[in-house]
Amino acid sequence: MWLQLDGEGSLYRQVYRALRAAILDGRLSPGSRLPSTRVLAGEAKLARNTVLQAYEQLVAEGYAVTRRGAGTFVVEAPPDAPARSLRPARRDDERAPEPPALSAYGERAAQRFARGASWGRRRPAPRYDFRYGEPAYDDFPHATWCRLLARRARRASERHLSYSSPGGAPELREALADYLTRARGVVCAAEDVLVVYGTQQAIDLTARVLVDPGAPVAVEEPGYPGFRNALAIAGAVVQGVPVDGQGMRVESLAGEDARLVCVTPSHQFPLGGVLSLARRLALLDWAARARAFVFEDDYDGEFRYDGRPLESLQALDRDGRVLYAGTVSKVMFPALRIGYLIVPGVLRDAFLAAKVFADTGTAHLEQRVLADFIAEGAFERHLRRARVRNAARRAALLAALARELGDAVEVVGANAGLHVVAWLRDVRPAALRELRERAARRDVGIHPVSPFYAEPLPRAGVILGYGALDERSIGEGVARLAEALREL
């Protein structure tokens, strides 16, 4: 602990004043434990009795309290704390400090962040929160994961505790290449797999490697804000391409000179359309002719409920134009922060170099545990159970919407993924804010679809995620939402 002694009077009084200042200034928060007298004396190069006298003075004046066997703690309400605070308040006539001079990148990032670009949950979350993108944490096999984690931790050697390969742990790259080849039809070898901190880092690296400031880039409209934000911050000119029930309208790319196209072909985000085979082939043909690249975000391709499983767009690529990105967040848990990016061979070295300078490598222990989780079959067993459970949740949501709201809503995007979009036929866009407030008073969280559009919407819609709710909660949440709608 750092102490600034003022040099006036005895040492114990100097220590006392320094500690009191830290308490009043908030650097030592109410209820926090002070270092032991032995530790503080050693750090400050003082006699222990000097520190002991200072602590006794703090206790005597009501700034600290001693608990037998536990130590000395800052009191919850220090005496005269506001009046005696040592942090000077800014006078009315004092000018505010000049804002820092940021780079163009920093300015763009700050502006985007100020608009609410964050993935953190609201606290406290509503009981019936239809937040999209979250899995059911209770479905996850925690005991299996903890067993594998403990085993890897016990066996960790010096090699495993040092920096890891920036491309990812070799065993995880092997496991992911094997799984993606079998499950999603991806054409790749272990050396093509780049382990990243989730899809968002994959997008950021792609923008850094392939896009210069001022370069045109195409994204879906509406689409995932993470695309638009990362590309705009990188300085790209972001162009929206309209979508319909078959995904991106690829014919709209004719004549475009985009360097990169970002798509969600297996389950368009957020409207849920599936890019048709004809459009997939047309997109790949356009990319080859335009010498552009396609970023395929397969964010929830594991969850499909109607029809045969779809192979990835990357599996159809014969010209090395598709970068395939995915994550384990929707199957496991977002805090794991592990995703993957499959890059064409001609780009492999450039992306590896960008990853080296970005972070020197993703967390190694978690990678090796995930490799075991996949190799021992636990990942796919969990995925099969999750598909069954999510299919039941989806059925419960569709039934509840039909029962409680009927023709008042139009539901789209229900054939895959972990969310649907519900267009509210009798609600004006301007009234959606009030509807959210009325729903919140009933402990229901709903989320508008408008943030995924670049332009204002002529109708009101909400995105309803169901992955983190059980069937009973889904039914109760929709019933309460219907009450809020009728009241509106």
pLDDT(209) > 90: yes
In angstroms, rounded to a whole number, what is the distance separating the alpha carbons of residues 226 and 211? 16
Provide the pLDDT for residue 95. 65
In angstroms, rounded to a whole number, what is the distance separating the alpha carbons of residues 121 and 408? 29
Q: What percent of the chain has pLDDT over 70?
A: 93
Are 270 and 367 within one domain?
A: yes
pLDDT(90) > 70: no
In angstroms, rounded to a whole number, what is the distance separating the alpha carbons of residues 260 and 251? 16
For range 391-417, the mean pLDDT: 94
Total number of domains constituting the chain: 3
Range of the domain at 72: 11-84
Last residue of a domain, one of 322, 356, 376: 376
Whether 102 is in a domain gets the answer: no
Separation in Å, CA 334 to CA 58, 136, 225, 329: 45, 11, 17, 4
Cα Rg of the chain (Å, integer): 28
Convert the pLDDT of each residue in 127-170 to its tens digit.
Answer: 999 998 888 899 999 999 999 999 999 887 777 777 778 899 99
Spatial neighbors of 300 by CB under 8 A, at least 6 apart, are 266, 267, 330, 416, 417, 418
For range 398-404, the mean pLDDT: 97
For range 387-410, the mean pLDDT: 96
Whether 458 is in a domain gets the answer: yes
Length in residues, the chain: 488
- Between 20-29, 172-181, 405-414, 459-468, the lowest mean confidence (pLDDT) is in 20-29
**Run of H or E residues at 196:** strand 193-196
Provide the pLDDT for residue 104. 85
Whether 98 is in a domain gets the answer: no
Convert the pLDDT of each residue in 46-75 to its tens digit.
Answer: 999 999 999 999 999 999 999 988 899 999
Last residue of a domain, one of 347, 376, 405: 376
Last residue of a domain, one of 309, 342, 376: 376
Banded pLDDT at 7 (limits 50, 70, 90):
confident
Residue 337, SS3 per DSSP:
coil
In angstroms, rounded to a whole number, what is the distance separating the alpha carbons of residues 431 and 415? 29
pLDDT(385) > 90: yes
Whether 1 is in a domain gets the answer: no
For range 378-402, the mean pLDDT: 95
Q: Please name which of 42, 37, 69, 66 lies closest in space to residue 53, comparing C-alpha atoms.
A: 37
Spatial neighbors of 283 by CB under 8 A, at least 6 apart, are 248, 250, 253, 261, 263, 275, 294, 313
Are 247 and 147 within one domain?
A: yes
In angstroms, rounded to a whole number, what is the distance separating the alpha carbons of residues 459 and 66? 62
Whether 343 is in a domain gets the answer: yes
Are 411 and 451 within one domain?
A: yes
Banded pLDDT at 92 (limits 50, 70, 90):
low
Convert the pLDDT of each residue in 284-303 to its tens digit.
Answer: 999 999 999 999 999 888 88
Convert the pLDDT of each residue in 227-282 to its tens digit.
Answer: 999 999 999 999 999 999 999 999 999 777 899 999 999 999 999 999 999 999 99
pLDDT(116) > 60: yes
Separation in Å, CA 268 to CA 180, 402, 451: 20, 23, 15
Q: Which residue has the tokens 């114990």?
A: 12
In angstroms, rounded to a whole number, what is the distance separating the alpha carbons of residues 172 and 162? 17
